[in-house]
Amino acid sequence: MYAQMIKTASNGVKSRDEMSPEERAFQDKIDNDIKIEPRDWMPDDYRKTLIRQIGQHAHSEVVGQLPEGNWITRAPTLERKMILLAKVQDEAGHGLYLYSAAETLGVTRDDMVEMLHAGRMKYSSIFNYPTLNWADIGAVGWLVDGAAIVNQVALQRTSYGPYSRAMIRICKEESFHARQGYHAIMKMAFGTPEQKRQAQDAVNRLWFPAIMMFGPNDSDSTHSEQSMAWKIKVKSNDELRQQFVDQTVPQIEYLGLDLPDPGIKWNQERGHYDFSDPDWSEFFNVIKGNGPCNVDRMNARVKAWEDGQWVRDGLMEHARKKAARKVAAE
């Protein structure tokens, strides 16, 4: 997941009559579930929207290393440390596939990184929350990756081929992450009273941020219509959020933890759980840069990039010298 509030680059959905012949042929492909591939003609706005969405998704994977990395050096057993490291390594790998998918649209990874650092591209709001105790690591795997999977399973059917294929691959790894996260928090919830307290604290803090990951309510989601018509987005924010709540509430109950929202109740008539709306003013604040960790996360990324400049330059220069020596020898 990790793509929220993607501003669709368009001035509203065109009717078939308003479309050019190229646009009509393009829309026909989409309507017939034929994937769009990098060399195919596509509307500029489709391209721009995808770059934003895939780029934001890639950035989220990369920034997402930080809250989990926060606990790698404090993981309580060798096995937990390995699982966590392997998970974070997977996230970095997802970042790579996604940057590559975005690059097929004619933007470079360096451009995207630069835009992120300049605040012109975003990453998911969830990574602006801190990981404060060990149970958070379980909760991140279970709730955050769990929410991501709900979105990404839907995105496997997205219209852009490289993005769809990246999602298929990523979903396989994410399911493993969610399972290991749930396993880790189970150990805490079923452990000593102190461990259970950590588990409850983690769920209480991360519940609303997790359900905010799906973005604003459909009624307030201004960019969705064109993205749905282009099948960049396949399900609405509220549909995905409901699906996540429905699958997660019984898991919280199984852990014997208190529900983090007193508004959670089974609604027989709807066949779904009711739940409280998150505090959307908090969400918009986090998106604007005022979350608990926005500044620290971005500073950490910018510092890594700037501190690494000499390394990238050095390796590039070496590659150039080596190539020159090879030419000279021939």
Classify 72 as helix, strand or coil: helix
Is residue 198 a contact partner of residue 134, using CB atoms and an 8 Å limit?
yes
Q: Of 6 and 58, which CB lies nearer to other proteins in the complex structure?
A: 58
- Residue 179 zone, left/alpha/beta (φ > 0; ψ -120 to 50; rest): alpha
Q: Of 258 and 313, which CB lies nearer to other proteins in the complex structure?
A: 313
Q: Of 50 and 58, which CB lies nearer to other proteins in the complex structure?
A: 58
Stretch binding other proteins (CB under 8 A), from 7-15, 58-66, 152-160, 234-242 = 58-66
Asked whether position 72 contacts other proteins by CB under 8 A, the answer is: yes
Q: What is the DSSP letter of 223?
A: T
Asked whether position 305 contacts other proteins by CB under 8 A, the answer is: yes
C-alpha torsion angle, residues 180, 183, 184, 186 (rounded to 10)? 160
Total interface residues for other proteins by CB under 8 A: 50
Task: Report the half-sphere exposure of 297 (CA within 13 A, side-chain side).
Answer: 30
- Rounded CA-CA distance 246/266 in Å is 9
Q: Of 264 and 302, which CB lies nearer to other proteins in the complex structure?
A: 302
Asked whether position 161 contacts other proteins by CB under 8 A, the answer is: no
Q: What amino acid occupies position 92?
A: A
- Quote the least distance from Cβ 200 to other proteins, whole Å: 15
Is residue 7 a contact partner of residue 52, using CB atoms and an 8 Å limit?
yes
Instruction: Provide φ and ψ at 105, rounded to 5°.
Output: -100, 5
Q: Centre a 10 Å sphere on the Cβ of residue 41 and count the other Cβ atoms it contains.
A: 11
- Quote the least distance from Cβ 137 to other proteins, whole Å: 10
Q: Of 9 and 202, which CB lies nearer to other proteins in the complex structure?
A: 202
- Quote the least distance from Cβ 190 to other proteins, whole Å: 9
Dihedral angle sign, alpha carbons of residues 131, 133, 134, 140: negative
- Quote the least distance from Cβ 70 to other proteins, whole Å: 9
Among 13, 19, 96, 302, binds other proteins (CB under 8 A): 96
Asked whether position 311 contacts other proteins by CB under 8 A, the answer is: yes
- Rounded CA-CA distance 261/130 in Å is 20
Asked whether position 219 contacts other proteins by CB under 8 A, the answer is: no
Residues that bind other proteins (CB under 8 A): 62, 65-66, 68-69, 72-82, 85-86, 88-89, 92-93, 95-96, 99, 134, 184, 187, 191-192, 194-195, 300, 303-305, 307-319, 321
